[in-house]
């Protein structure tokens, strides 16, 4: 029986593979559909599926009735122009969609690259709308959904830094796409490990470290993905000194796209609340990146990151780690994360360079 996904109910059994727009199966034959499967079918814009006349429990399948309005809305949904939304609403929409398709990958759905591009590229093209506010994407994150935010934010941050480093549009969009795809392989890791609220054991950490390889395997045969993007995905946890994974590559053996994503990945992870770790200040995170820039990370990428994050002027209001508000009065070029600040309440002048325990918590 061939039906529209809107007519399905949990318990329906597929009698043919569901084929995505890339002509590859996204759900295999004999799958017993759940609400989650049905949602994935809608998100992948599948027009019709073939199911058995009986449900898994042996009862007769009675397709839901579709109203004319539903059919009209379905065709209209494909043509929604998300640029009419605010950037924040568009970003949240992409995160929600990513969460849905990730759950599909966990159920062995294939990656549908036309759908991914349609989802991600329009958001990446809006970078100019937010500029340096791209460094504040951590404010949207709720710790239980950190993982889904991370992939979308990583794509945006990577594209932004690549653009600032002088990459042409075609390349910085590819770098953003690579950032978005880097963690798709997490769908092949035990969900109990991915969503664990405590520190990982050494065995669990070893399993997590397999995700770049899993990600690569998921996209390896996609002809529409460039080799540069595929290398960036598998290498984004490699380090310049050879201490990274999964291959232990070093220096020039690491693709330039992967070097950009590595810095952005660390920054966003450090500045977000996660299930097992509280967020750090963006400026403390930057100082950590500074410490690693001549060993583990690409020096040029770190410098570009610092330059653009600390691109504020005198008079900028900041909140310090002691919760007091102040105003930047002088910025030293060699220590941009530790300017001189005049406190609002007391008028006291504080040189953050001389106060290692005090730092900027947030730009206001």
Instruction: Say how far residue 75 (Cα) sits from the centre of its chain.
Output: 28
Radius of gyration of the CA atoms of the chain, in A: 23
Rounded to 10 degrees, the C-alpha dihedral 42/43/49/52 comes to -70
State the residue for tokens 């910085």: 172
Give the pLDDT of residue 66.
67
Position 152 scores a pLDDT of: 96
Distances (CA, A) of 236 to 29, 133, 153, 206, 240: 35, 23, 15, 16, 11
Q: What is the pLDDT of residue 22?
A: 53
Q: Decide: helix, strand or coil at residue 54.
A: strand
Same-domain pairing of 94 and 178: yes
* Cα–chain center distance at 364: 25
Quick one: pLDDT at residue 276? 66
Q: Please check whether residues 282 and 185 belong to one and the same domain.
A: yes
Domain boundary among 57, 77, 97: 77
Alpha-carbon span 326 to 320, nearest angstrom: 8
Residue 363: how many CA atoms within 13 Å on its side-chain side? 19
Residues with Cβ within 8 Å of 96's Cβ and at least 6 positions away in sequence, in order, are 148
45 & 143 share domain: no
CATH of the domain at 296: 1.10.3210.10
DSSP H helical ranges for 46-201: 68-77, 87-106, 113-124, 127-130, 146-164, 169-181, 191-194
Say if residue 159 is exposed, middle or buried (CB neighbours under 10 Å; 0-12, 13-18, 19+).
Answer: buried
List, in order, residues 6 or more apart from 89 with CB less than 8 Å away: none
- Give, in degrees to the nearest 5, the angle at Cα 176 between 78 and 229: 105
Task: Report pLDDT for 291.
Answer: 78
The reported pTM is: 0.75
Q: 161 and 281: one domain?
A: yes
CA distance 215 to 221: 12
Q: What is the pLDDT of residue 289?
A: 83
Q: How many CB atoms lie within 10 A of CB 143?
A: 16
pLDDT of the residue at 116:
93
**Half-sphere exposure for 278 (CA within 13 Å, toward CB):** 3
Torsions phi, psi for 273 (to 5 deg)? -70, 125
Question: Do 300 and 167 touch, CB atoms closer than 8 A?
Answer: no
- The answer on 142 and 68 residing in a single domain is no
Clarify whether residues 342 and 286 are in a common domain: no
The reported pLDDT for the residue numbered 79 is 40
Q: How many domains does the chain have?
A: 3
Instruction: Give the pLDDT of residue 247.
Output: 93
Same domain? 70 vs 198: no
* Residue 250 pLDDT: 93
Q: Please check whether residues 247 and 108 belong to one and the same domain.
A: yes
Cα–Cα distances (Å) from 346 to 325, 327, 343, in that order, read: 10, 12, 6
Strand partners, 3: 49
Domain boundary residue, one of 284, 309, 334: 309
30 and 104 co-located in one domain: no
Relative to beta strand 49-50, strand 349-351 is: unpaired
Evaluate whether 195 touches 275 at the Cβ level (below 8 Å).
Answer: yes
pLDDT in tens, 9-42: 999 999 988 876 556 677 888 989 988 888 888 7
Find out whether 28 and 14 touch, Cβ atoms under 8 Å.
yes
Distances (CA, A) of 203 to 190, 210, 245: 12, 11, 15
Closest CA to 274 of 123, 147, 106: 147
Which residue among 25, 51, 77 closes a domain?
A: 77
Q: Are residues 97 and 168 in the same domain?
A: yes
Domain that holds residue 61: 2-77
Phi (first) and psi of residue 193, to 5 degrees: -80, -45
* pLDDT at residue 11, rounded to an integer: 93
CATH of the domain at 6: 3.90.105.10
Same domain, 72 and 102: no
- Classify the C-alpha dihedral 288-289-292-294 as positive or negative: negative
For residue 217 the two structure tokens come to 């395997």
* Residues of the chain falling short of pLDDT 50: 68-80
Same domain assignment for residues 289 and 329: no
């Amino acid at each position: 029986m061939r039906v529209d996904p809107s007519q399905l109910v949990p318990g329906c059994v597929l009698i043919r593979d569901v084929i995505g727009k890339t002509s590859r199966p996204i759900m295999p034959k004999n799958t017993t559909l759940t609400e989650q499967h049905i949602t994935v079918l809608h998100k992948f814009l599948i027009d019709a599926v073939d199911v058995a006349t009986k449900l898994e429990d042996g009862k007769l399948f009675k397709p839901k009735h579709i109203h004319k309005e539903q059919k009209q809305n379905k065709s209209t949904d494909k043509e929604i122009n998300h640029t009419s939304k605010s950037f924040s609403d568009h970003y949240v929409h992409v995160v929600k969609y990513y969460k849905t398709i990730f759950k599909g990958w966990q159920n062995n759905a294939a990656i549908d690259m036309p759908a991914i591009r349609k989802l991600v590229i329009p958001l990446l093209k809006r970078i100019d709308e937010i500029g340096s506010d791209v460094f504040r994407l951590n404010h949207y994150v709720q710790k239980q959904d950190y993982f889904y935010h991370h992939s979308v934010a990583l794509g945006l941050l990577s594209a932004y830094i690549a653009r600032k480093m002088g990459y042409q549009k075609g390349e910085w969009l590819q770098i953003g796409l690579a950032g978005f795809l880097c963690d798709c392989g997490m769908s092949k890791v035990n969900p109990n490990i991915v969503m664990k609220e405590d520190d990982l054991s050494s065995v669990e950490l070893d399993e997590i470290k397999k995700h770049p390889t899993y990600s690569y395997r998921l996209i390896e045969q996609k002809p529409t993905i460039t080799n540069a993007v595929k290398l960036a995905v598998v290498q984004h946890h490699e380090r310049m000194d050879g201490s990274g994974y999964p291959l232990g590559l070093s220096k020039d053996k690491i693709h330039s796209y992967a070097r950009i994503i590595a810095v952005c990945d660390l920054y966003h992870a450090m500045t977000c609340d996660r299930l097992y770790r509280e967020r750090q200040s963006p400026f403390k995170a930057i100082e950590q990146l500074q410490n690693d820039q001549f060993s583990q990370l690409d020096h040029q990428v770190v410098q570009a990151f610092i330059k653009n994050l600390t691109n504020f002027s005198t008079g900028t209001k900041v909140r310090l780690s002691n919760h007091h508000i102040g105003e930047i009065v002088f910025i030293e070029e060699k220590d941009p994360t530790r300017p001189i600040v005049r406190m609002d309440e007391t008028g006291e002048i504080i040189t953050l360079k001389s106060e290692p325990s005090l730092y900027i918590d947030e730009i206001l």
